[in-house]
């Protein structure tokens, strides 16, 4: 069972999240908080695997709260669940230490999937809501690093940006995990990045995630 903490200042939202997780039957909600201060106290006193965190809460919420939580409980995986769909907000959340980002426009099944993935050590980015915005982020003048990627590397990048593991990508593309690792190494070199979080930020910034309507 995955132990989950919920932090949202709206009681109705916490109740909805609780029902979704109880219906999934593989989670235990170990505690709830309604503001930043109580969330910080809850994290410090309650063992858990994943914190589902709303960014917009009173009494010390926001991006800075992620950093404080990571400072006192670095092994806790933080999944942001927010109304903010702006790419720069997602980027800041990952930079602060979040393991996943999901918008409140997402379905309950997406929440369940996101919690499971981050609990397993993967990164998760709910790119769909971000991609629904105009892709002006990718319209910069001049060549961009990802334009040097092969079609296969771009395909692997899209899976990586969704937070999938190398083994899962290998199964989806009918390749070996070793081949995926090679593609990933080449992608990192061409994009001049050094981490999965940086890759997700790059994908969000340039609109390179998979189109959910094609999955």
Tens of pLDDT along 119-154?
Answer: 998 888 875 434 433 333 334 334 578 888 898 998
Query: Counting Cβ atoms within 10 Å, is residue 106 exposed (0-12), middle (13-18) or buried (19+)?
Result: middle
- CA distance between the termini of the chain: 28
Asked if 21 contacts 62 with a C-beta cutoff of 8 angstroms, the reply is no
For residue 155, what are the contacts with CB-CB under 8 A and spacing of at least 6? 173
- 198 pLDDT higher than 60: yes
The confidence band for 59, taking pLDDT boundaries of 50, 70 and 90, is: confident
Residues spanned by CATH 1.10.10.10 within the chain?
145-206
Model confidence over 82-97: pLDDT tens digits? 888 877 788 888 888 9
Distance CA 17, CA 39 (A): 16
Residues spanned by CATH 3.40.50.2300 within the chain?
2-126
Query: What phi, psi does 52 have (nearest 5°)?
Result: -90, 115
Q: What confidence score (pLDDT) does residue 177 get? A: 93
Please give the CATH architecture assigned to the domain spanning 2-126. 3-Layer(aba) Sandwich (3.40)
Q: What's the DSSP call for residue 213?
A: G
Q: pTM higher than 0.75 for the full model?
A: no
Q: What confidence score (pLDDT) does residue 127 get? A: 54
For residue 2, what are the contacts with CB-CB under 8 A and spacing of at least 6? 26, 27, 28, 49, 50, 115, 116, 119
Q: What confidence score (pLDDT) does residue 17 get? A: 94
Q: Which CATH number fits domain 145-206: 1.10.10.10, 1.10.760.10, 1.10.3720.10, 2.40.170.20?
A: 1.10.10.10
């Amino acid at each position: 069972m995955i132990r989950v903490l919920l932090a949202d200042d709206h009681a109705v939202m916490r109740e909805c999240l609780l029902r979704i997780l109880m219906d999934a039957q593989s989670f235990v909600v170990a505690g709830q908080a309604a503001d930043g201060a109580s969330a910080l106290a809850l994290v410090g006193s309650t063992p858990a695997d994943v914190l589902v965190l709303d960014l917009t809460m009173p009494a010390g919420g926001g991006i800075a709260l992620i950093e404080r939580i990571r400072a006192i409980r670095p092994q806790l995986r933080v999944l942001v669940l927010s109304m903010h769909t702006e790419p720069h907000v997602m980027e800041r959340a990952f930079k602060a230490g979040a393991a996943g980002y999901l918008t409140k426009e997402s379905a309950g099944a997406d929440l369940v999937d996101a919690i499971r993935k981050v609990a397993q050590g993967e990164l998760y980015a709910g790119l769909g809501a971000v991609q629904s915005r105009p892709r002006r982020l990718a319209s910069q003048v001049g060549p961009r690093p990802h334009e040097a990627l092969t079609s296969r590397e771009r395909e692997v990048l899209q899976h990586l940006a969704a937070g999938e593991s190398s083994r899962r990508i290998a199964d989806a593309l009918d390749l070996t995990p070793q081949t995926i690792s090679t593609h990933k190494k080449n992608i990192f070199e061409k994009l001049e990045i050094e981490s999965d979080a940086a890759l997700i930020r790059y994908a969000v910034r340039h609109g390179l995630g998979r189109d959910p309507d094609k999955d």
